[in-house]
Structure 1
Amino acid sequence: MKVIIAGGGTGGHLFPGVALASSILARNPSAKIIFIGTERGLEAKVIPKLGYELRFISARGFVGKSITEKSKSLMKLLQSIGECRSIIKSFPPDIVYGVGGYASLPMVFTASLSKIPTVILEQNTVPGLANKILGKFVDAIAITYPETIDYFPKEKVYLTGTPIRKEILLGSRERAIELFGLEEGRMTVLIFGGSLGARKINKSITEGLSYLIPLKDRIQIIHQTGEADYSWVAREYQNFAFKATVLPFIYEMAEAFAVADLVICRAGASTVAEITALGKASILIPYPFAAYNHQEINARRLLSRGACEMIVDRELNGEVISQKIIKILSSPEIKREMEFASLAFGKANAAERIIEIGESLIRRKS
């Protein structure tokens, strides 16, 4: 079986595609998979390191650009469609999956016109521009939230959840304690703001340390800061004598999740999918500049089910976040109810469901 996975740009689009590819190979080891992306996207750094073939197209972003840049984007889109035709000719796929982002649009559109089975994944409540357009052409649409069905032709929509990396489900708490230099018997708070960190989160946490002193002997912290903030954040923990493992980047995220009693992070689709698949209590701080404000919408979905606490970025400060940490970690009942609600929200088998939909489309074509 030959598979094309198109899209990326950001981790929220790319990592569900990576999770899907991993599940395809686990199910069908002889499958051949290539990714389609751009030289500017995150996929240019990530995909080659994972051992998958990556082919570039000329697509550019459209949303939020000036009129001049939008005109250039449209020209690049036409160029990309020609490039996608060439890719399909050299690597005729049995199915094409689009994982979102502007790189997915020309490939999925071209495949649809070529009568190749197509599936798009929509990880957020409100679809991005590419998926709104592609919804009219593709054979199936895999969504994460029930509300998303209103944006697409209902007969094409399947409520599957967002694919997550299987290794996230296999993290070892015991290995985490050794790896991060933690102590048994303490509650662990995991804090991260994306691969580059998030200064607003870093500042609010360090400002909140004075409020967290009543918990100091009961908690320990794993904090991913990003390279730019690493030194001063580590120094603040030392100044307040908190037990904390501060890292520019966490490579062993499965272990970090496994040991976490509380997760504090942004509300990107992939992160939310991983947190809920694991049933973790969380404080979500949506990135305020996300397209269509989708992170806040994602977080409010969990909040409405009691699966998280949420702080909007403009209201984030040390006192506010420390109060929420104390509220959750001082009440086993609140924490337990949040974990149950989170787990009920999660869908650990999303990738398998999406693959089954794709296989059904391939059989139908045959």
Structure 2
Amino acid sequence: MSKRILFTGGGSAGHVTVNIALIPKFIDMGWEVKYMGSTHGIEAELVKKLGNVEYIGISAGKLRRYLDWENLKDPFRVINGVVQAYQHIRKMKPSIVFSKGGFVSVPVVLGAWLNRVPIIIHESDITPGLANKISIPFASKICVTFPETKEHIKNDKVIFVGAIIREELMYGSAIKGLNLCNFTRNKPVILCIGGSLGSQRINEMLRRNLHHLISEFQIVHICGKGQLDNSYNIYREYKQFEYVHSDLVDILAMTDIVISRAGSNSIFEFLSLKKPMLLIPLSKEASRGDQVLNAQSFKSLGYCEILLEEDMKDNVFKEAINNVFEKRHKIIDRMDKNGRDNAINKVIELITAISL
């Protein structure tokens, strides 16, 4: 009888990409793989593209940090999700649950714990998110991406594994990327990406300065769902997408520098591909401050430049882009010194050992 693993995590692409990197490995090893997430979240869309993984949708509340009438309903959604997760897990009897975090993971972790199923949690950022903070007491082990995270989670369950990177990122084609965007080799390429949900502030800043930037650069803009603006399609040097899935590897292959938020999964992928970065982290007012810490860690190692959102003005934005481009060779040299830790194998070995 083959072993069975249940993955969970969702709410944003960052809470899914690590799972997507691991899932094919377990399928190749002969494990039965299932995924539990919210019924209509981005995780459902991304996981179903894999084609050979059973997806189980459950009720999920959102762990908001702001006042909203939906906060009154969410405890009932979470309780309903715990009941659903408990019943599904009791029936499927997984050997282990691997949780990437996000609000949907909390009911799954609780449902697994109630069924006495071992749980491994993965935390990408320097400080744990709210969902993982809730889940940590129920976990067998907590895998972390930054060594600094051990200072924020005082627990002997913590294991530093490093960044889990999707292998397919290494096989992108710059020629395919150029053809996709109708770009040439005559100008360097900037990729601007605000995360899977986009960033309205970055989108507005980029577009307002587009006519200056395209004199020197070709720009690919992944702007987020519902944030396309077709009035800018008049520029040959500018190509915009709401979201990119399989073509992202080719876009990254042709990219010279990246403008991005500072979500951990994304910036470690850019690091693995040696793409110099201008990071514009979510401010502490709009988040728990994790992206600021992520960006500061990368800056200290020489992998990026940082532009704080509160400092983002037209002239500062353009200067920051030019600064990264001028420093790109120096940044790439620093990135070359970053040895790739085999995080995927570390996590696979840990999961296999705990599920025995």
Letter in 1 for 2:221: H
Question: Partner residue of 1:53?
Answer: 54
SS at match of 1:135: helix
**Distance (whole Å) between structure 2 residues aligned to residue 206 and residue 58 of structure 1:** 38
How far apart are residue 4 of structure 1 and its match?
Answer: 0.4
Letter in 2 for 1:33: V
**Distance (whole Å) between structure 2 residues aligned to residue 71 and residue 246 of structure 1:** 38
Question: Partner residue of 2:44?
Answer: 44
TM-score when normalising by structure 1: 0.86
Q: Is the 8 A contact 2:6 2:98 kept in 1?
A: yes
Whose helix proportion is higher, 1 or 2?
A: 1
Question: Partner residue of 1:2?
Answer: 4
Change (3 A) 1:327 1:71: closer
- Confirm whether residue 143 of structure 1 aligns to residue 144 of structure 2: yes
Letter in 1 for 2:262: A
Question: Partner residue of 2:346?
Answer: 353
SS at match of 1:291: coil
**Distance (whole Å) between structure 2 residues aligned to residue 319 and residue 67 of structure 1:** 36
**Distance (whole Å) between structure 2 residues aligned to residue 178 and residue 168 of structure 1:** 18
SS at match of 2:60: coil
Query: How do 1:85-234 residues align onto structure 2 when only pairs under 5 Å count?
Result: 85-209=86-210, 211-212=212-213, 216=215, 219-226=217-224, 227-234=226-233
Deviations 1:222-277 (A, max 9, x none): 22234433313334xx3xxx633333443411011111110111112221121112
Q: Is the 8 A contact 1:132 1:151 kept in 2?
A: no
Change (3 A) 1:323 1:150: same
Change (3 A) 1:205 1:135: same
- Confirm whether residue 337 of structure 1 aligns to residue 333 of structure 2: no
- Confirm whether residue 15 of structure 1 aligns to residue 17 of structure 2: yes
How far apart are residue 135 of structure 1 and its match?
Answer: 1.8
Structure 2 unmatched ranges of 5 or more: none
Question: Partner residue of 1:246?
Answer: 240
**Distance (whole Å) between structure 2 residues aligned to residue 129 and residue 197 of structure 1:** 21
SS at match of 2:355: helix
Q: Is the 8 A contact 1:143 1:159 kept in 2?
A: yes
Q: How many residues align?
A: 350
SS at match of 2:148: helix
Question: Partner residue of 1:315?
Answer: 311
**Distance (whole Å) between structure 2 residues aligned to residue 89 and residue 350 of structure 1:** 30
RMSD: 2.5
Change (3 A) 1:171 1:322: same
How far apart are residue 66 of structure 1 and its match?
Answer: 4.5
**Distance (whole Å) between structure 1 residues aligned to residue 36 and residue 339 of structure 2:** 28
Q: Is the 8 A contact 1:2 1:95 kept in 2?
A: yes
Q: Is the 8 A contact 1:186 1:220 kept in 2?
A: yes
TM-score when normalising by structure 2: 0.88
Moved more, 94-103 or 150-159: 150-159
Change (3 A) 1:117 1:146: same
SS at match of 1:300: helix
Question: Partner residue of 1:304?
Answer: 300
Question: Partner residue of 2:321?
Answer: 325
**Distance (whole Å) between structure 1 residues aligned to residue 229 and residue 136 of structure 2:** 42
SS at match of 1:164: coil
Percent of pairs with identical residues: 28
Q: Is the 8 A contact 1:111 1:117 kept in 2?
A: yes
SS at match of 2:75: helix
How far apart are residue 221 of structure 1 and its match?
Answer: 2.2
How far apart are residue 300 of structure 1 and its match?
Answer: 1.6
**Distance (whole Å) between structure 1 residues aligned to residue 240 and residue 13 of structure 2:** 22
Change (3 A) 1:295 1:81: same
Q: Is the 8 A contact 1:203 1:318 kept in 2?
A: no
SS at match of 1:279: coil
Q: Is the 8 A contact 1:164 1:273 kept in 2?
A: yes
How far apart are residue 154 of structure 1 and its match?
Answer: 3.6
Deviations 1:136-164 (A, max 9, x none): 22111111112211333442111123323
Q: Is the 8 A contact 2:118 2:355 kept in 1?
A: yes
Change (3 A) 1:81 1:344: farther
**Distance (whole Å) between structure 1 residues aligned to residue 68 and residue 206 of structure 2:** 40
